[in-house]
Each structure stands twice: as C-alpha cells, then as structure tokens.
Structure 1
Amino acid sequence: MSENKENFIGFSLLADQLQRKTVKKGFEFTLMVVGESGLGKSTLVNSLFLTDLYSNRKLPPVSERLTKTTDIEKTKLEIEENGVKLRLTIVDTPGFGDGLEGADAWQACLKYVNDQLGLYFQSENSVNRKNMTDSRVHCCLYFLSPYGHGLRPLDIEFLKRLQYKVNLVPVIAKADSLTKTELAAKKKRIMAEIAEHGIELYQFPDTDSDEDEDFKAENERLKSGIPFAVVGANTTLQVGNKTVRGRQYPWGIVDIEDTNHSDFMHLKRFLIQTHMQDLKDVTHDVHYENFRIACLQELKAAGIEQPADITKSTERLDETYEDPEKILLLQQKDEEIRRMQEMLNSMQQKISKS
C-alpha cells in the first residue's frame, strides 16, 4: 500500500524546503551588455525582459560621440513571475567603441567588473555578512557587428582582457541583415578566430549520463549556437490570426521568436530558463575565486595575514561586551579588516591600470 504523500516524512523533502526558502528570498542577476552604438543592445534587452529600460535615454550627437569615452550605466529592475522574484541589474556601456581612440574602450568595463568583485570580497570579510548583496557581473553579452568578415582588433582586445573575469557570451547583432549562408560562414569565422587567439568564452556545463534527455539535447543545441545571431524588436505585428513580435520589411516580416529567423529564443532560453544559475555558480566558483586568491596573495605579500574565519572571530555576542579582553581583540580585528580593505582598494587600482 503506497503511503500518502501528505503523511510522508523523509529527507527527500529537503528539496521542497530549499525551494520555498529560495523563492521567498528571490534571485539576483547582473547582466552586462557591451558593444558599439547602433547594434540594437537596448532593443534586445527590452525584448528579452519585456520592458522599456531606456525610455528616457537621449543619444548624443555624432560630434560628441567621436570624443566620448565609455560610460557605465546601471538599471535595476524587479521582475515577478508566478511568485518568483528576480532582481535584475542591467549594466550598459554607452560610448563603447564610438570614439576615434577606441583602443582602450575596454578599460571602463574591466574596472567595473573588478570593482564589483572587490566589493563582494570586502563584504565577505566584514563583521556583518547577514545582508550581503551580490553586485558581481554574472554574464556579459558582447555584441559583434554583422558587417565585416570577422572580429575587429577592439573585439579581440576586449574578449582577451575580460575572459578570466566574467562569463563572456558573444552575440551577432542585427542578424536579419545577413542571409543564412552568410550567417553560417560568419559564425564559423568568428569561432575560428576566437580559438586562434586562445580566448575563453563561457563554458557550458557537461551533462551527466543520467540527466534528462531533453535537457542534454537543449544544452548541446545552445552550445553549438554560439555566437547567438539575434534580432530584437519591441513592436507587435499581425500575421494572419497570429500576433508576433518582429520587424516589417518590404519583402516580409521577421518574427524574432521564430528560431528559423533568429537565435533570440535560444538566447532567452539560455539566460533565463536553463543556464542562469550556472552562470552565477561559475561567477562565484571560478571568476570570484581566482580574484579572491589573488587578493589574499597580495595581502600576504604585504604582511597582512587574514584570520581563518574573520567573521567568527569578530562575532559580537552579548557576553563579549562584559569582557575587556574580548573588546580589545575585536578592536584589533576591526583594525586588521580596515587595513585589508585599504590594501584591496590599492590593489584594485593596480589591476585596473594593468
């Protein structure tokens, strides 16, 4: 006789507890979009998250853009779907590659990524870690121009500089300007140049033999689709009895959600449905861990030894305030943390300049 699920008690229900706790807390995700003006970055982001993040933006005239440096713009958005909350941060980079001297356009992006890793490191080593926020960049969509034959020197330099700092995912913008044959050739050329220059893109996770077959097939399909060839559109069009989001041309309509027209749905599925958590895990376990080790080595070289567990050693219990020796110890630890943070700030400046 099978036991009623409501009366079942077992450790397999731990997954339900974790799900309830995670849903209640919500999710945080930071997406950086990088590419020169005119490639449709804003339109694509609005298409992905069905919003209008840039309604108040005003583009500067061409005369100003020739001398403009790369800016960093953050937009925060809270999305809720079926009771699940996502706190999304979009980091845009207006001015990237627009100036006549665009060779160093990557510097502002690298500094921002390093700064966020540094802030997380400081928060992790502070006395109070209860309300830590994760502002690290979990994914960077790098927009490639559909024109030309392959990667430009700026593209190669950017990808090389940030490859070990953030999950890089290249996308070919305005893919509807290319035929299927041209698009296939361009994808092949881009991936060949990426391999030639030894550039590390986001590594899709390996699937286990006991994984769901549909997930394994989807993972392989998305992996083979890099770089994603995308088309963005915020307008809806009527095609027969069907309403689609797309672009109207004299020769017909491009439906951005039709995988025969664009990789838009593959990108959306990758970011939201299948790989968002893995992007966060790789950020923490690989990119942040490398950064943290480098910081600890710098601190050790400077003669500042980090305690095995700073938070535990500086935990302020009620009885602590009754013991003068413990108060002195806390003050010493606080001073040590302050020195560590000063060293970290100095190191971040060196990293950004290198």
Structure 2
Amino acid sequence: MEERVEEEGGIMGQEQKDEDKNDEQPASMTTQNSMTEKQENCLKVCPVVEEKGKEKGMKEGEMKKEMELEIEFDGELGQSFSGQQVSFIRGADLVGYVGIEAVLDQMRRKTMKAGFEFNIMVVGQSGLGKSTLVNTLFKSKVSRKSCMPDYAEEISKTVKLHSVSHVIEEKGVKMKLTVIDTPGFGDQINNENCWEPIVKYVNEQYEKYLREELHVNRKTRIPDTRVHCCIYFLPATGHRLRPIDVEFMKRLGKIVSIVPVIAKADTLTIEERLEFKERIRQDLLGNGIQVYPQKEYDEDLEEHIINNRIRESIPFAVVGTDKEHQVNGNTVLGRKTKWGIIEVENVAHCEFANLRDLLIRSNLQDLKEVTHNIHYETYRVRRLNESNMNFSEMGLSTRPLENGTADKCESESQL
C-alpha cells in the first residue's frame, strides 16, 4: 500500500511539474498551438463518428468534411462556453430518447398563444396597384383603401403616412399585421425630398422601441412598430430606374429592408419584362443600392445558395387582383382580358407567388431578425454614442440616458 501511495504521489508530482512548465511557456506558443489542440480535442471527442464512418465505408473526403464540420461546431460552442471542452453527441449515439426536440413544440405553443407582429410598408406613386397587391398577398381586405368606407381617392399635395392594423388568424396562429401606406409619394411635379417623411417615420419607430428598452421597468413584451419590410413599386416603363427611384432606395436601403417589384407587369411582354429586370439589376449594382436579401447577411452556404436564387429574380414582376375566375374547372385569382385570363398565382404568368413566398412563407422571420439585429442595432448604437457625446460635452456621466429625464442625470452628477 505504501509503495502504491508513493507511486501515485510521484505521478501527481510529475503532473504538477508539467503544469508548471506549461504555465511558464510564452503566450505566443499557446496561440500557435490553439488550433492543433482544438483539432485533437475534436478527434478525441468524436471517435464514435469516425468508427461509424469506417463501418459504413465512407470515403476519405466525406470523413474529412465531417470532421471539419465538427471542428467548426466545436469552435462556435467554445466561444459560448468560455473555453470549456464541449463534445458533440449525435442522436444515433444517445442511449435512449431524451426529448430535446420537444422544445420546438413548446416554442410553437408560446408563439401561437402570444402571436407576433409584422409591419409592412408600401411605397410608390398612385395607380400602381399597391392596395390591390397587399390585399392579394394576405387574401383579405387589409389595405387602408379597402377597409375604410369613407375613403376618397385624391392626390395628396404632400407625402402622408397612414397605417392600418389587423389581427389575422390562420390555423390557430395570430399575426398582428400593420400596413403603412404612403399616399402622395412621387405624384408631384417637384418630388424633391419626398422620401424625408418616410425616413423620419422609420427612425421614429426605432426611437420609440429604443426608449421602451431603456426604461428601468421594461414591459415584458415591447410593442413592435418597426417597419420590417418596404415594398417599393416600380412602374412598368421598360426603361431604367428613374432618379426618384435611385434616391429613395439609396436612402431607405440603409435603414430598412427593401423589396422592389415591377407593378402591373402584365403590361409588358415576356421579352420586355426580362430586359427591364436586367436593366434594373444593373442600376441597383451601379448605384450601390442595397435591397433584401443582402449578401453580407447570409449566415451559411445553404442560405447563400437560396438567397442567390431570390436575388436573381429581383425585382419581382407582379400582378395583383382580388377577382376570381374559372379556368378549366378551377377557381383562380386573375385578371380577365380579351386574350385570356392572367393567373396571379401562376409562375408562368407573373412572379407574385415568388414574392408571397419570400415575404410570408419562407423569409418573414428573417425579415424581422434583419430589422432587429441589423437596422435597429445600427440605429441604437448611433443614438447611444450621440448621448454619450452629449453627456461628455456637458461634463455629466457618460452612461446612456435610462428614462430620458435630465433631472436624474443631474442628481447622479452631483453625487
């Protein structure tokens, strides 16, 4: 027993010496060996993956790719867990059912119970079918023009913004939809600075959300009135972007997600439509205009491939209508002409279905995340930096304003 204790003591002493030697190594050595240690840890942690790959006869290239994914995944978790060693356990490696995937059902139930907000702005000159398209998107009368019985069609002398909110429920999921209309935009002879009221409105919603966040006693759920998407309507001229289009999208593209569409695309032939879309894409690129989805916001390769297909379709050539017609025994939404019926949801006729999928069925949550994580975050950082600069000039504390009250800051400076 004594000999065994002495051996263990000798081993522990040797380990302690080794640790002391490692501590004496310079920081540069640690930095150089960090990636090697990371790969070794991943190889130690994932022997099961390697054995399964050999059993299934996986190719060497596939094994290498899988190990790179493991290293990348381990690196991401390493940042979150402050350098702790984290293992990656696949579902096939579990002894039995744990129930982790049930969290998706929990999230679904909470979302269905609480609902969510989606705020969409439509911008374009009068007569381009903005109200009709929004009604077609949500298959209900949600536009201001449709839901107001005393609405009178008149050209506004200035740009005015009007918002109408609805609660739409489908299969138990509730969504508070707010449609912001911009009557008067682009309808005057002199349209100089006609985008300023729209920029002001977007920033006001960011400011409102920021003030709610900075309250000492914040609400459990802050009402979200920020604009998540702006649909910009281009007239089907078949030429290029107009100066007002370029100036508007240049300014708004920096603070909100813009999706350009060609309104009433049925007035163009297929060849004219393709040429017009290509000219618009060239103008967007040449003027440095950012439209959704931006390449720099793609999170991974799969999302980059999907978004590339969307970017190739922009601007969407759309047709809107709320009229139903019978085509081969089926009821379809479409516009009836002397030559036939233009089916709105038929991708061979127009790209309305692609636009609907982007806005609602595939990228709605991403539009909200881009608004919160990119556009709002940019505004928040700028405003807080401005507040800190103002406090520094006044000789007050550089802490950001919590409740928007000057008395509190003055009392803090006296203390």
Shorter-chain TM-score category? 0.7 to 0.9
How big is each residue's C-alpha offset from its partner over 1:156-193, in whole Å with a ceiling of 9 and x where there is no partner?
A: 11011111110011000000000111001000000101
Residue 11 of structure 1 aligns to a residue whose secondary structure is: coil
Match of 2:289 in 1: 199
Residue 272 of structure 1 aligns to a residue whose secondary structure is: helix
Larger radius of gyration: 2
Counterpart-to-counterpart distance in 2, 1:72 and 1:252 = 37
**Percent identical across equivalent pairs?**
45
Match of 1:231 in 2: 319
Residue 203 of structure 1: CA displacement? Answer: 2.3
Q: Match for 2:252 among 162, 166, 185? A: 162
Residue 15 of structure 1 aligns to a residue whose secondary structure is: helix
Counterpart-to-counterpart distance in 1, 2:99 and 2:328 = 53
How big is each residue's C-alpha offset from its partner over 1:306-344, in whole Å with a ceiling of 9 and x where there is no partner?
A: 64895xxxxxxxxxxxxxxxxxxxxxx77359879xxxx
Match of 1:30 in 2: 119
Match of 1:347 in 2: none
Given that 2:387 and 2:400 are in contact with CA atoms closer than 8 Å, whether structure 1 keeps it comes out as no
Structure 1 gaps, min length 5: 1-6, 311-332, 341-354
Residue 11 of structure 1: CA displacement? Answer: 3.1
Given that 2:316 and 2:351 are in contact with CA atoms closer than 8 Å, whether structure 1 keeps it comes out as yes
Given that 2:133 and 2:319 are in contact with CA atoms closer than 8 Å, whether structure 1 keeps it comes out as yes
Counterpart-to-counterpart distance in 1, 2:306 and 2:260 = 19
Residue 108 of structure 2 aligns to a residue whose secondary structure is: helix
Residue 121 of structure 1 aligns to a residue whose secondary structure is: helix
How big is each residue's C-alpha offset from its partner over 1:139-167, in whole Å with a ceiling of 9 and x where there is no partner?
A: 00000010150111110110111111100
Residue 201 of structure 1: CA displacement? Answer: 1.1
Counterpart-to-counterpart distance in 1, 2:182 and 2:285 = 26
Counterpart-to-counterpart distance in 1, 2:378 and 2:398 = 17
Given that 1:126 and 1:337 are in contact with CA atoms closer than 8 Å, whether structure 2 keeps it comes out as no
Q: Match for 2:363 among 275, 279, 285? A: 275
Match of 1:58 in 2: 152
Return the structure number with greater relative CO, CA threshold 8 A, min gap 6.
1
Given that 1:299 and 1:305 are in contact with CA atoms closer than 8 Å, whether structure 2 keeps it comes out as no
Counterpart-to-counterpart distance in 2, 1:258 and 1:161 = 34
- Does residue 1:171 correspond to 2:261, yes or no? yes
Match of 1:328 in 2: none
How big is each residue's C-alpha offset from its partner over 1:242-289, in whole Å with a ceiling of 9 and x where there is no partner?
A: 111100000111000000111100011111110001011010111001
Counterpart of 1:71, as a letter, is K
Listed as ranges, the matches of 1:54-203 within 5 Å are 54-55=145-146, 56=149, 57-60=151-154, 65=155, 68-130=157-219, 131-203=221-293
Counterpart-to-counterpart distance in 2, 1:260 and 1:338 = 63
- Change in Cα spacing, 1:110 to 1:337, as seen in structure 2 (3 Å) is farther
Structure 2 gaps, min length 5: 1-95, 411-415
Counterpart-to-counterpart distance in 1, 2:112 and 2:174 = 7
Please report the TM-score for the alignment, with normalisation by the length of structure 1.
Answer: 0.80
Residue 302 of structure 1 aligns to a residue whose secondary structure is: helix
- Change in Cα spacing, 1:11 to 1:305, as seen in structure 2 (3 Å) is farther
Match of 2:33 in 1: none
Q: Match for 1:42 among 107, 110, 131? A: 131
